[in-house]
């Protein structure tokens, strides 16, 4: 006897039905964000009246609107952004809107089946795939500390940028973004909570500040060259000079400007960095207390 595709015992039909229900339930807390760029992107109703979305996709900070699952729109206020973790926070006045059901991204494993949910003008959008790699904490190219590395094997629509990574229980584990080399990544819940708390409290993220403009030395010479100094900055106060070449930072070799920028995280403010230098061709050393980047 041939089993019908609509038979309730068909495992593929059962899986399909489960994914439909899962998408319908989990997408109730997924919103659209209008006015921030060339096209609407997605966001997550993270806390009552608080939406998180992808910072990189948010080109403007004014005239923003939240599109809800039932088709309503609400004006949104920009709270703050953190380019180093790709997180932006908005505030609006919801009216009975469901919150995302949050889970723990630390439990994710490589190979686990997941969904990426977003919201388009015409409704929810979904993509399925697996966790291509689940790893420990890492640092973005802009110096942000991300608590877990989550790389996804799925195709992310532009409108789903800033949407939710969802497990098979319907729990939102993080926010989906497009990373380097167009790889789809997820920013985990713990990182979003940490950054959102700071943005809601201060409107910005404190970042380490050296007060020096740097460029690579070039050729086969290691280190980065000090091109100019902020006269009021920590580097000038510690005695760093224009023309110095920074070759190491607290025992770690420096070969690119990015290596220095990655050291200037939130956690670096107030810490002391031991710099290994080349000054006039001779080795030198210097200790600098990292300051906080001034507001612009």
pLDDT 10s digits, 105-144? 999 999 999 999 999 988 999 999 999 999 999 988 877 8
Secondary structure of residue 237 in the 3-state scheme: helix
For all residues of the chain together, what is the average pLDDT? 92
CB 56 within 8 A of CB 37: no
Residue 1 confidence (pLDDT) above 50 = no
Specify if 127 maps to a domain.
yes
Q: Does 223 fall in a domain?
A: yes
* Mean pLDDT to the nearest integer, 155-172: 95
**Range(s) of the domain holding residue 265:** 208-292
CA distance 48 to 235: 43
What does the pLDDT look like over 149-159, one tens digit per residue? Answer: 999 999 999 99
The model's pLDDT over 221-235, given as tens digits with 9 standing for 90+, comes to 889 999 999 999 999
If one compares 84 and 166, the residue with the highest pLDDT of the two is 166
Q: Does 2 map to a domain?
A: no
The pLDDT tens digits for 77-98 are 999 999 889 999 999 998 888 9
**49 touches 68 (CB < 8 A):** no
Q: Which of 205, 223, 239 is the last residue of a domain?
A: 205
270 is a domain residue: yes
Q: Which of 173, 205, 237 is the last residue of a domain?
A: 205
Q: Are 226 and 247 in contact (CB under 8 A)?
A: no
CATH code for the domain of 182: 2.40.10.120
- For 225, the 3-state DSSP assignment is strand
Task: Give the contacts of 288 (CB within 8 A, at least 6 positions apart).
Answer: 210, 234, 235, 238, 240, 272, 273, 275
> pLDDT for 12-60, tens place per residue?
888 898 999 999 999 999 999 998 777 889 999 999 999 999 999 998 9
Confidence (pLDDT) at 5: 55
Note whether 22 and 156 are same-domain residues. yes
Using DSSP, state whether 290 is helix, strand or coil: coil
Determine the pLDDT at residue 261.
86
Instruction: Please check whether residues 195 and 219 belong to one and the same domain.
Output: no
Beta-bridge partner residues of 176: 186
How many domains does one find in the chain? 2
In a domain, 1, yes or no: no
Q: Are residues 193 and 269 in the same domain?
A: no
| pLDDT grade for 7, boundaries at 50, 70 and 90 | low
The reply to whether 278 and 182 lie within a common domain is no
By three-state DSSP, how is residue 14 classified?
helix
Q: What is the mean pLDDT of residues 248-260?
A: 92
Alpha-carbon gap, residue 292 to 211, rounded angstroms:
10
- Report, as an integer, the average pLDDT of 171-197: 95
Question: Which ranges in the chain belong to alpha helices (H)?
Answer: 11-26, 189-202, 234-238, 257-261
**Residues 234 and 157 reside in one and the same domain:** no
């Amino acid at each position: 006897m041939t089993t019908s595709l609509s038979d309730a015992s068909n495992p593929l039909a059962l899986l399909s039905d489960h994914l439909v229900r899962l998408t319908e339930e989990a997408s109730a807390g997924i919103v659209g964000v209008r006015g921030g760029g060339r096209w609407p992107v997605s966001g997550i109703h993270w806390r009552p009246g608080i939406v998180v979305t992808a910072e990189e996709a948010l080109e403007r900070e004014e005239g923003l609107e939240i599109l809800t699952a039932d088709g309503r729109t609400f004006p949104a206020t920009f709270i703050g952004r953190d380019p180093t973790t790709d997180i932006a926070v908005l505030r609006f006045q919801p009216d009975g809107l469901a919150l995302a059901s949050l889970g723990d991204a630390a439990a994710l494993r490589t190979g686990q089946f997941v969904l990426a949910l977003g919201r388009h003008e015409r409704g929810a959008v979904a993509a399925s795939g697996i966790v291509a790699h689940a790893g420990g904490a890492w640092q973005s190219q802009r110096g942000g500390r991300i608590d877990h590395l989550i790389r996804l094997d799925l195709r992310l629509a532009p409108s789903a940028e800033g949407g939710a990574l969802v497990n098979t229980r319907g729990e939102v584990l993080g926010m989906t973004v497009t990373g380097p080399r167009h790889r789809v990544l997820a920013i985990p819940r713990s990182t979003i909570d940490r950054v959102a708390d700071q943005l809601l409290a201060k409107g910005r993220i404190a970042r380490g500040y050296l007060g020096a403009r740097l460029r690579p030395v070039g050729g086969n010479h290691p280190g980065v060259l000090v091109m100019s100094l902020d006269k009021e900055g920590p580097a000038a106060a510690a005695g760093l000079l224009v023309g110095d070449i920074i070759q190491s930072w607290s025992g770690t070799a420096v070969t690119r400007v990015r290596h220095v920028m990655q050291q200037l995280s939130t956690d670096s403010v107030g810490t002391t960095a031991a710099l290994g230098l080349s000054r006039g061709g001779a080795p030198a050393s210097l200790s600098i207390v990292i300051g906080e980047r001034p507001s612009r």
